[in-house]
Amino acid sequence: MTVLFGIFLLTLLVITAVAIVRTQNLFVAVMLLGIFSLLIALNFFILDAADVALTEAAVGAGISTVLFLGALALTSERERFVTKHRALSVAVVVCATLVVLYATFDKPAFGDPNAPVHQHVAPWYLEYEPEYIDIPNVVTAVLGSFRGYDTLGEVFVVFTAGIGVLFLLSARPGRKTSRRQSENDESAIGLRENLIPRVVARLLVPFILLFGLYVQFHGEYGPGGGFQAGALIAAAFILYALVEGEARTLEVLPRNALIALTAAGALLYGGVGLTGILLGSEFLDYSVLAADPVSGQQMGIILIEAGVGMTVTGVLLLIFHAFAARDQV
C-alpha cells in the first residue's frame, strides 16, 4: 500500500514540476509550486520525516507562495520569451540526467539499515540521546544541542537574508508616491470587502497562532520546533495582512518590533552559547546551565528554540512587509 501511494505521489510530483516549467503564466506557475510543495511534504512524511514535512508545508506551500506572488505583483505575470538556445539546453539537461540516473545505480538500496549513511554518527545520536539530553524528539535534540553550531549558523543565514531583503527593498523607489498613502487603494483595504475570506480568516488566525505556539513549545516531545513555529506564526500574520490589509497588521506588530524580535532571537541564541563559556564550559554547551547536566541541556534547547522561532518569525514577516510596501513599477 505504501509503495503504491509513494509511487502515486512521486508521479504527481513530476507531473506538477513539468507543468510548472511549461506554463508561460507565472501566476499559474507559482500556484503549482504551492501544490508541488504540499506533495513533496507528503513524500517527506512517508519518508518518516515528520518535522521536515511540517516545515515544508508551512514554508513551501504557505510563505513561499505569498512571497512569489508579492514579487509577481511588482514585476509581471507573463513570460515574454519561451526559451533561449532550446536545443542546446535540452542536450545539456539530457546528458546530465543520464549521468545522474547512472549514478543512482551505485546508491545503497532504499531503506537498507546497513547503508553507509546509517553507520556514521546517527546511531550514536540515537543511542546516547536519552542519556545526555533525554527528550523524546531526537530531531530536536540533534538540531538544538548536538549540532547546535550548524543551527546557529543557519539562524544567522536567515537573519542575514532578512537584512539583505530590507536593504534591497527599502531603498527609495524614486519618482512615484508610496502606495500606502492613498486610502482607497486595494492594498490598504485587503480583502475586507469579501465576506467569506474575511470571516474564515478571522476564525482561522487565532488557531494558527495557537498551533504555532504549540509547535514551538511541544517541539521537544513531538514534531515541531522553532523553525516550524516561526513559519506558522508568520503565516498567521500574513493571512491577517492579506485579509485585513497590511496597515492593520503593522499596527498589531510594527516594523520596529519585528526588527527587534529578529535581532533578539539571534542574540538569545548566541547569548545562550556565550553563557556556556561564562559558566566555565564551551560555546553552546548547555549542560552547565543547570545543576543537573540533563536538565541544563533541556533548558538550553528550549531557549535556543525560542530564539530560532523569534528570528524566523521576524525575518519572514519583515520580508513580507518589504514586498508588500513596495511600489508597483
Q: Which of 40, 241, 242, 310 binds other proteins (CB under 8 A)?
A: 40
Collapsing DSSP to helix, strand or coil, 78 comes out as strand
Report d(CA 318, CA 312) in Å as an integer.
Answer: 10
- Per DSSP, helices labelled H in 170-224 are 186-189, 195-217
In whole angstroms, the minimum distance from the beta carbon of 192 to other proteins comes to: 26
Among residues 270, 212, 277, the alpha carbon closest in space to that of 63 is found at 212
Note whether 252 binds other proteins by CB under 8 A: no
Q: Which of 208, 242, 302, 319 binds other proteins (CB under 8 A)?
A: 319
Q: Which of 1, 35, 38, 81 binds other proteins (CB under 8 A)?
A: 81
8 Å CB contact between 61 and 37:
yes
In whole angstroms, the minimum distance from the beta carbon of 249 to other proteins comes to: 18
Of 148-187, binders to other proteins (CB under 8 A) are 150-151, 154, 157-158, 161-162, 164-165, 168-169, 171, 173-174
Q: Which of 201, 239, 272, 316 binds other proteins (CB under 8 A)?
A: 316
By C-beta, is 51 or 285 nearer to other proteins?
51
By C-beta, is 131 or 193 nearer to other proteins?
131
Report d(CA 26, CA 73) in Å as an integer.
Answer: 11
In whole angstroms, the minimum distance from the beta carbon of 114 to other proteins comes to: 10
Q: Which one-letter amino acid corresponds to residue 125?
A: Y
By C-beta, is 118 or 202 nearer to other proteins?
118
Of 190-229, binders to other proteins (CB under 8 A) are 221-223, 225, 227-228
Q: Which one-letter amino acid corresponds to residue 36?
A: F
By C-beta, is 303 or 318 nearer to other proteins?
318
Q: Which of 1, 13, 244, 277 binds other proteins (CB under 8 A)?
A: 13
8 Å CB contact between 17 and 39:
no
Compute how many other C-beta atoms are within 10 angstroms of the C-beta atom of residue 189. Answer: 14
By C-beta, is 49 or 205 nearer to other proteins?
49
8 Å CB contact between 125 and 228:
no
By C-beta, is 83 or 194 nearer to other proteins?
83
Note whether 97 binds other proteins by CB under 8 A: yes
By C-beta, is 168 or 257 nearer to other proteins?
168
Compute how many other C-beta atoms are within 10 angstroms of the C-beta atom of residue 207. Answer: 10
Element (H, E) at 275: helix 255-278
Which residues, other chains included, contact 262 with Cβ-Cβ below 8 Å and sequence gap of 6+? Answer: 159, 162, 310, 311, 314, 315, 318
Report d(CA 19, CA 55) in Å as an integer.
Answer: 24
Note whether 257 binds other proteins by CB under 8 A: no
In whole angstroms, the minimum distance from the beta carbon of 34 to other proteins comes to: 11
Of 266-305, binders to other proteins (CB under 8 A) are none
What Å distances lie between residue 242 and 69, 146, 229, CA to CA?
A: 12, 39, 20
Assigned C-alpha cell, 200: 474564515
Q: Which of 6, 197, 270, 271 binds other proteins (CB under 8 A)?
A: 6
Q: Which one-letter amino acid corresponds to residue 79?
A: E
Of 118-147, binders to other proteins (CB under 8 A) are 118, 120-122, 125-126, 130, 136-139, 142-143, 147
Report d(CA 155, CA 304) in Å as an integer.
Answer: 10
Note whether 307 binds other proteins by CB under 8 A: no
